[in-house]
Amino acid sequence: MIEQYLLSGVTTGAIYALVALGFTIIYNASHVINFAQGEFVMIGGMASAAFFEAGIPLPAAVALSIATATLVGVLLEKLAVGPAREASVVTLIIITIGASILLRGLATLVWDKKIHRVPAFSGETPIALGGATLLPQVLWVLGVSAVAVALLAWFFRRTLTGKAILAVSHNRLAARLMGISVRRVLAVSFGLSAALGALAGVLIAPIAFTSWDVGVMLGLKGFAAAILGGLGSSAGAVLGGLALGLIEALGAGYLSSAYKDVFAFLIIVAALVFLPNGLLGRRAAERV
């Protein structure tokens, strides 16, 4: 039975990890917690379901939905976060909360309030692994998360845009003095986070279905996973996501399934009391 609990934990953990990555990127660039991140996940899932149901083949539907979400992310930055960029972080967070409400409302208008399914990428036959089973789709989620982390590491360290984003996150004024366009960096970060979120949504939809409000819980758990892993660290986001999934599954299996989320949050809070910057977070030096 423990093998199934572990695989169950890995399944949900992989999903949380992808969502958490999206939080990390925007936070790195702007120190804003984007409460609309869950809605990017929702857009990825719903758009791909809509495109697919309209007859577009799945790969194209996936690509189109990621593009749609990226556009929404960039628009969010240009129209809402950008103009308010000099405001306090709390104000920016409220703006993203407003954005999440707006996006959910738009989803019910553009699409509908029903639950939709998207076909799995490589079939539904469960893979047997030592007495337990795993869906092939989960391997896609894990694989894509690993590739995403690797690509992001390369992007931030080797490309000029990536380095520009890192520069802005360390010291916005200095970056601007070096000729980096902060506006462009923010737009790219939001677009990138949105794309990642949409990718998560597309990968998850065959496992957990998709609907207009699927972003609320996923956003919340992804946020928790990002903080557990250490906000600002991509590897931390993935680690936090997997840890959260495993705690939930093991809690459900060995303790009480009714309280699995309670255990998970208790452990997160306890972990934060001892490691305030999360598992892999960097200790930030605070200016006095």
Partner 1 sequence: MASSAGARPSASRTPLLALAILIAALPLALPNNYTYEIAILVGLNAIVCVGLNLLIGYAGQISLGHAGFFGLGAYGSAILAARGGWPASISIPVSLIGVALLAWAIGRPILRLKGHALAMATLGFGIIVSIVLATEDRYTGGPDGMAVPPLASFISGEKTWYWIVAAALIAAVWLARNLIESPRGRALRALHGSEVAAGALGIDAAAHKLSAFVISALFAAAAGALSAHYAGFITPGKASFLHSIELVTMVVFGGMASTFGAVVGAAVLTTLPQLLTVFKEYEMVLLGAVMMLTMIFMPRGLVPTLERAFAAARQISR
Partner 2 sequence: MFPRIVLAALALALSAALQAQPQPIRVGAFLSVTGPAAFLGDPEQKTLELYVEKLNAAGGVLGRRLELVVYDSAGDAEKARGYVKRLIEQDKVDLLVGGSTTGETMAAVPLAEAAGIPFVSLAGAVVIIEPVKKWVFKTPHTDRMACEKIFVDMRARGVAQAALISGAGGFDRSMRAECLKVAGKHGVQIVADETYGAGDTDMTAQLAKIKGTAGVQAVLNAGFGQGPAIVTKNYRQLGISAPLYQSHGVASKQYVSLAGDAAEGVRLPAAALLVADTLPDADPQKKVVSAYKRDYEGRFKQDVSTFGGHAYDGLMLAVEAIRRAGSTEKAKVRDALEATRGYVGTGGVVNMSAHDHMGLDLSAFRMLEVRKGDWTLVK
Which residues contact partner 1 (rule: CB under 8 A)? 33, 35, 80, 83-84, 86-91, 94-95, 97-106, 108-109, 216, 220, 223-224, 227-228, 231, 258-259, 261-262, 265-266, 268-269, 272-273, 276-278, 288
Buried b (16+ CB within 10 A) or exposed e, 128-153: eeeebebbebbebbbebbeebbeebe
Residue 86 touches which member of partner 1, partner 2, none, C-beta under 5-8 Å by kind: partner 1
Alpha carbons 247 and 6: distance in angstroms, whole number:
9
Query: Looking at 91, 108, 122, 181, which residue binds partner 2 (CB under 8 A)?
Result: 108
Cβ at position 45, least distance to partner 2 in Å: 11
Residue 214: contacted member of partner 1, partner 2, none (CB under 5 to 8 Å, by partner type): partner 2
Question: Pick from partner 1, partner 2, none: which does 227 bind, CB < 5 to 8 A by kind?
Answer: partner 1
Which tokens in the block code for residue 17?
A: 């990890």
- The owner of tokens 């308010």 is 84
Instruction: State in angstroms the smallest separation of the CB of 10 from partner 1.
Output: 23
Residues 237, 225 contacting (CB under 8 angstroms): yes
Q: Does 107 bind partner 2 (CB under 8 A)?
A: no
Strand (E) positions, 117-199? Answer: 127-129, 132-134
Question: Any contact of residue 164 with partner 2 (CB under 8 A)?
Answer: no
- The span from the CA of 149 to the CA of 145, in Å, is 6
Cα gap 62→56, rounded to integer Å: 10
Q: Which residues pair with 129 in a beta bridge?
A: 132
Q: What tokens appear for 114 in the block?
A: 């029903």
- Residue 94 interface partner, choices partner 2, partner 1, none, CB cut-off 5-8 Å depending on type: partner 1
Could you say whether residue 216 binds partner 2 (CB under 8 A)?
yes
Structure tokens at 277: 């910057």
| Closest distance to partner 1 from the beta carbon of 37 (Å) | 14
- Shortest separation between residue 246's beta carbon and partner 1, angstroms: 17
Do 193 and 9 touch, CB atoms closer than 8 A? no
Integer Cα distance of 22 and 3 in angstroms? 29
DSSP state, residue 259: G
Q: Of partner 1, partner 2, none, which one sits near residue 181, judging by CB under 5 to 8 A according to partner kind?
A: none
Q: Is 48 in the site for partner 2 (CB under 8 A)?
A: no
253 binds, among partner 1, partner 2, none (CB under 5 to 8 A by kind): partner 2
Nearer to partner 2, 133 or 161 (CB): 133
Minimum gap (Å) between residue 109 Cβ and partner 1 = 6
CA distance 232 to 264: 21
Q: Which does 63 bind (CB under 5 to 8 A by kind): partner 2, partner 1, none?
A: none
Asked if residue 207 binds partner 2 (CB under 8 A), the reply is yes
Tell me how crowded residue 183 is: count the other CB atoms within 10 A of its CB.
Answer: 13
Q: Is 204 in the site for partner 2 (CB under 8 A)?
A: yes
